[in-house]
Chain A
Amino acid sequence: MTTVFLHGRDAANQDAKSGRKMRARLGAAAIALIALALPAAAQLLLNVSYDPTRELYRDINDAFAKDWVAKGNPAPKIETSHGGSGAQARAVIDGLKAQVVTLALASDIDKIAKAGQLPEDWQGKLPHNSSPYTSTIVFLVREGNPKGIKDWGDLIADGVEVITPNPKTSGGARWNYLAAWAWAEKNGKDPKEFVKALYTHVPVLDTGARGSTTTFAQRGIGDVLLAWENEAYLAQKELGEDQFDIVVPSVSVLAEPPVALVEGNIENDDQRKLADAYLQFLYSPEGQAIAYKNYYRAWDASKASPEDVARFPKLDLVDIASFGGWAKVQPEHFGDGGIFDQIYTAK
């Protein structure tokens, strides 16, 4: 009995000693952590964006940080996160602390507004419907265009395989679908029948735009890839100009990827100033020049190099307003049981 008791007290003593040591160590670690975290927390900005803007925002972030410091501010720490536009919107709704969102579709930012994180009239706060740059949908075909694809009508010819992502999971794919719809309408065809015929030529529906580019370029599937203009140029640049040609159809859509400040995630005035300046920078001549350089159709070409602007051919561009706006298009075409679902389930 006694030995057990003694042993117990010994152990208790030792426990107390090691406990004190442990606490001291933990305390030191905590102080070190706080010291590390403080200066970084001062000027942090998270931009939650969609998939194909990686290269664009890498350039924008560098240029903006330089500009911001040159104006006498401390160096900011800007982070950008990329993913499917819808998934990114959901992450922000579910609590990702993004101060700025730059997504593919206004309807995705509308969802964030509906969750109460920014005002419903966000789109009127910045010029051009809050879209500092635009893009359109073009065709990427194999070198020499062996199937002779010139316009949307050629896509439903026998033996032509079309690669496009799933409009249910990919923002870009909705623009592809709408571009096809717009062409059919302008050429006196039944748009629903045309789009239906188009999707019977699609052998693989990837979940995102980058996935489709990989399927087409690396896996060698399909004769034509429906792609963002900037993705098409990028694929050509990265994978070799001697492998792919860009074909510009007669009609396409004017895709306006919008940007917004997420009011609910702004912590203090300093951060608001930084976030505001970041969005304004996108509209500045420097920011616009960077957008042109990254193959986006921007608005202000005053500082852009002429060849960046000249490479965009003119074509008939239809904007989302002529479809009735996203609030109408989203449920009608891509909602549950919408026209896209009917393409696959209707007999």
Chain B
Amino acid sequence: MMRPVVNKSPMPGFGLGMGITLTLLSLVVLLPIAALLVKGAGLGLAGLWAVASGERVVASLALSFRLSLIAALFNLVFGVLLAWVLSRYRFPGRRLLDAAVDLPFALPTAVAGIALTALYAPNGVFGSLAKTFGARIAYTEWGILIALIFVGLPFVTRTVQPVVEEIEREVEEASATLGASRLYTLRRVIMPMLAPAALTGFALALARSVGEYGSVIFIAGNIPMKTEIAPLLIVIRLEEFDYNGAAAIGIAMLTISFTLLLAINAVQVWTRRRIGYV
């Protein structure tokens, strides 16, 4: 007898479930990406490269990915800390704080961008504070970074939180009774358990930041070669009715993002192998 491709499970509905999944995935994700590739293909490989290697495109791609990486790294550290505090300690206002973490998801990004700009502009509350030290936040890279941290914050926290809740105190106590210092327990016992979830959150936050347009555009200043993000350059190409050029930049971003996500996945597989499944 031939082995079926997928093992029969006691649960019904494999055929239906798979069918709906594939149809929806195609409609919502695969088709638009295919359309993007087709548009870009209109330029040919040489044309794609000519657009993607243009001075301004390279500058904006470098800016977008550099700041997104920094923002995601910041969120990795801060997000794990936040998840730890929210699920380990009981304090008044905890539930309120917990709910507030989701706000960046709920708020329209344009609203977030305008609010952040109002705060960090030279005549805003924090902006005027920075001005007394001779620094400018809004309309510089710092402004972009703040907006990216804002939109990426919930990802790490929300992926790490359930893992923290499942870690049993006994594990830490066992580590302590075996003579481990608190730092050693944190480094060798707790961190490895959180790592896979934290990495997932990091990848999500990174992916979100790279494509972010709505909030950044208000706070960035948008000066070419300095504070111009790659998504804005795509919009500029569209304003010129240059659909192929816009698609080319889109494909460049997609390629870099995909490579980064693959790398993060590889790191994840590696950590799982090293520490075993958690």
Q: Which residues of A contact B138 (CB under 8 A)?
A: 219
Interface size, A (range):
20 to 34
The answer to whether the Cβ of B186 comes within 8 Å of any Cβ in the partner chain is no
Q: Is the interface of A mostly helix, strand, loop or mixed?
A: loop
Residues from 118 to 166 in B contacting A, C-beta threshold 8 Å: 118, 121-124, 138-139
Are B117 and A169 in contact (CB-based, < 8 A)? no
Q: Mark B215-226, 1 if CB is under 8 A from A, else 0.
A: 001100111110
Q: Smallest CB–CB gap between B39 and chain A, Å?
A: 13
Q: Which residues of A contact B124 (CB under 8 A)?
A: 219
Are B222 and A206 in contact (CB-based, < 8 A)? yes
Give Cα A204 to B124, complex, Å: 16
Q: Which residues of A contact B238 (CB under 8 A)?
A: 87, 90
Q: Mark A324-344, 1 if CB is under 8 A from B, else 0.
A: 000000000011100001001
Give Cα A204 to B245, complex, Å: 25
Give Cα A206 to B217, complex, Å: 8
Q: Which residues of A contact B34 (CB under 8 A)?
A: none
CB-CB nearest in chain A for B127: A219
Are B236 and A204 in contact (CB-based, < 8 A)? no
The answer to whether the Cβ of B240 comes within 8 Å of any Cβ in the partner chain is yes
Are B232 and A345 in contact (CB-based, < 8 A)? no
Number of contacting residues on B, CB 8 A? 27
Q: Contacts A221-B122, A221-B139, A345-B55 known; A205 to B239 CB distance under 8 Å?
A: no
The answer to whether the Cβ of B235 comes within 8 Å of any Cβ in the partner chain is yes
Q: Please report the number of residue pairs spanning A and B whose Cβ atoms sit closer than 8 angstroms.
A: 66
Q: Which residues of A contact B236 (CB under 8 A)?
A: 166, 168-169
Q: Which residues of A contact B14 (CB under 8 A)?
A: none
Are B223 and A204 in contact (CB-based, < 8 A)? yes
Are A220 and B240 in contact (CB-based, < 8 A)? no
Q: Smallest CB–CB gap between B242 and chain A, Å?
A: 6
Residues from 196 to 242 in A contacting B, C-beta threshold 8 Å: 202-207, 211, 218-221
Q: Which residues of B contact A341 (CB under 8 A)?
A: 56, 224
Q: Which residues of B contact A335 (CB under 8 A)?
A: 240
The answer to whether the Cβ of A86 comes within 8 Å of any Cβ in the partner chain is yes
Give Cα A220 to B118, complex, Å: 10
CB-CB nearest in chain B for A340: B224
The answer to whether the Cβ of B91 comes within 8 Å of any Cβ in the partner chain is no
Are B239 and A219 in contact (CB-based, < 8 A)? no
Are B56 and A205 in contact (CB-based, < 8 A)? no
The answer to whether the Cβ of B89 comes within 8 Å of any Cβ in the partner chain is no
Are B235 and A207 in contact (CB-based, < 8 A)? yes
Are A204 and B221 in contact (CB-based, < 8 A)? yes
The answer to whether the Cβ of A84 comes within 8 Å of any Cβ in the partner chain is yes
Are A345 and B225 in contact (CB-based, < 8 A)? yes
The answer to whether the Cβ of B241 comes within 8 Å of any Cβ in the partner chain is yes
Partner of B123, one of A206, A219, A334, A345: A219
Partner of B240, one of A168, A218, A221: A168
Q: Which residues of A contact B121 (CB under 8 A)?
A: 219-221
Are B239 and A203 in contact (CB-based, < 8 A)? no
Give Cα A204 to B217, complex, Å: 11
17 contacts between A and B (CB under 8 A): A87-B239, A168-B240, A204-B139, A205-B224, A219-B121, A219-B122, A220-B122, A220-B123, A221-B121, A334-B240, A335-B240, A336-B242, A336-B245, A341-B56, A344-B223, A345-B56, A345-B225
A-B pairs with the 4 shortest C-beta distances?
A220-B123, A344-B224, A219-B121, A86-B239
